[in-house]
Amino acid sequence: MILTHTKPSWIELPQTADARGVLTSIESGLDIPFEMKRVFFINHATGDRGNHAHRSTSQLIISAAGSFSVDVSTGGDWTVFQMDTRSRALFLPPMSWVRLRDFSRDAVCLVLADKRYGEASYIRDWNEFVRETASTNA
């Protein structure tokens, strides 16, 4: 079953627990609403990350270890998501401005994306993002 998500939202991750620990697996198109094309992670973060949006890329952010906060705007209000559990992930559709902050010392932020890296898809200027979201919401 493919999930349909159009706004930033939590996705519960499938987990299996036994005496040996907890196994979390993620399958493209089944557990997440896109086919993965890129995976990267951030660790040893000493300051804010992100501060940009993607025009056409969907992402899934997972706290693989530790904790951090994710501030998200889709052109209007801001929502803060606390990333401190391994049992859920934050889905970000295209045109979501994101800032990651307040990383714990042991934080590992795992990101799955539906597109390969392409600098042209980024919006790195807040005012440009506001203009683009205002024109699509008009």
31-68: b or e for each residue (b if 16 or more CB lie within 10 Å)?
Answer: bbbbeeeeeeebeebeeebbebbbeebbbbbbbeebbb
- Element housing 121 (H / E): none
Q: pLDDT at position 138, please?
A: 55
Residue 6 lies in a domain: no
Model confidence, pTM: 0.90
Tell me, what's the pLDDT at 6?
Answer: 78
Residue with tokens 């800032």: 99
Question: pLDDT of 67-89, one tens digit each?
Answer: 999 999 998 889 999 999 999 99
Q: Quote the number of domains for the chain.
A: 1
Dig out the tokens for 121 from the structure: 């898809």
Q: C-alpha angle with apex 72: 134 to 86, nearest 5 degrees?
A: 150
**CA dist., res. 126 & res. 132, Å (int):** 10
62-to-96, 124, 127, 137 alpha-carbon distances in Å: 16, 22, 28, 29
Q: Are 121 and 54 in contact (CB under 8 A)?
A: yes
Residue 137 has a pLDDT of 62
Phi/psi of residue 132, nearest 5 degrees: -70, -40
The residue-averaged pLDDT of 115-134 equals 94
Span 5-34, pLDDT tens digits: 679 999 999 999 999 999 998 988 888 889
Domain presence at residue 7: no
Structural domain boundaries, residue 34: 27-137
Measuring CA to CA, which residue among 131, 125, 130, 137 is closest to residue 78? 130
Decide if 18 is inside a domain.
no
Instruction: Give the domain CATH number at 112.
Output: 2.60.120.10
Reported as a pLDDT band with limits 50, 70 and 90, residue 2 is very low
